[in-house]
Structure 1
């Protein structure tokens, strides 16, 4: 995992499709609206097979266990809206804004990687790898994970 100081800014990386650039733009736009230092610093965006974008915001709680990651919120939104479209997620992207104002593409935490791999192991997920932002399969985040099929 790259240190925050080493992460590139959240800009469209080479090789990103127009559809995923829209995912990035949607996440950045919502982060701009909801950002509160220490409370709402991450937005996750998921695109389903039908092209719909679903967003989730990190919600921090005073009791750490009550905090909810943006990826989990976005996953819930996908399922909440699944009746109107496909719930098959094909691309995932999360952005973090630091208190000093820099914004970066980040990889899901370990718990969120587990959740995403439970439901969408074949989806592409954008991560920072060294000084680059690249897309990998969700399953690649946890190569030894036993896949759970519901």
Structure 2
């Protein structure tokens, strides 16, 4: 997988996700925050919505994408998700996490050239969404 070092412009995106989940964390409801930077430079942040029936849980990346689109933003540059630890976890640090498979599909559907900030071997880097979802299904396939 090809990765790239973070640039100064990436840190405010991570911080927006951190601040959003720190402010809105609620046990069994919201434990992941996401932020995305649009190509116009706007940063949009959101939290995931946990549900007791797991299939209807909505990931933070999906909420952030929907929020951005609802605000008229359609071109995305970079996205990141940050996990807040549960109250019973020993490690209490906020951690950058990789998007799940469904979020990878969604990010790719809406921004096929989007960067995704992830952790690889303890280092925070970024990669293109196409690196996280190779040979993506398309309607024309």
Shorter-chain TM band: 0.7 to 0.9
Residue 53 of structure 2 corresponds to residue 69 of structure 1: no
- Structure 2 distance, partners of 1:104, 1:113, is 18
Tell me the C-alpha RMSD between the 2 structures: 1.7
Match of 1:87 among 55, 74, 87: 74
Q: TM-score, structure 1 length as denominator?
A: 0.82
- Structure 2 distance, partners of 1:145, 1:25, is 30
Query: Could you tell me which residue of structure 2 aligns to residue 109 of structure 1?
Result: 100
- Structure 1 distance, partners of 2:48, 2:139, is 25
C-alpha displacement of 1:127? 0.9
Query: Could you tell me which residue of structure 2 aligns to residue 145 of structure 1?
Result: 136
Q: Confirm or deny: 8 A CA contact 1:118 1:148 kept in the other structure.
A: no
Question: What 5-or-longer segments of structure 1 have no aligned partner?
Answer: 1-13
Q: Give the number of aligned pairs.
A: 133
Structure 1 residues 148 and 56, CA gap change in structure 2 (3 angstroms): farther
Q: Confirm or deny: 8 A CA contact 2:82 2:97 kept in the other structure.
A: yes
Residue 40 of structure 2 corresponds to residue 50 of structure 1: yes
Q: Confirm or deny: 8 A CA contact 1:72 1:112 kept in the other structure.
A: yes
Q: Confirm or deny: 8 A CA contact 1:46 1:53 kept in the other structure.
A: yes
C-alpha displacement of 1:97? 1.0
Q: TM-score, structure 2 length as denominator?
A: 0.87
Question: What 5-or-longer segments of structure 2 have no aligned partner?
Answer: none
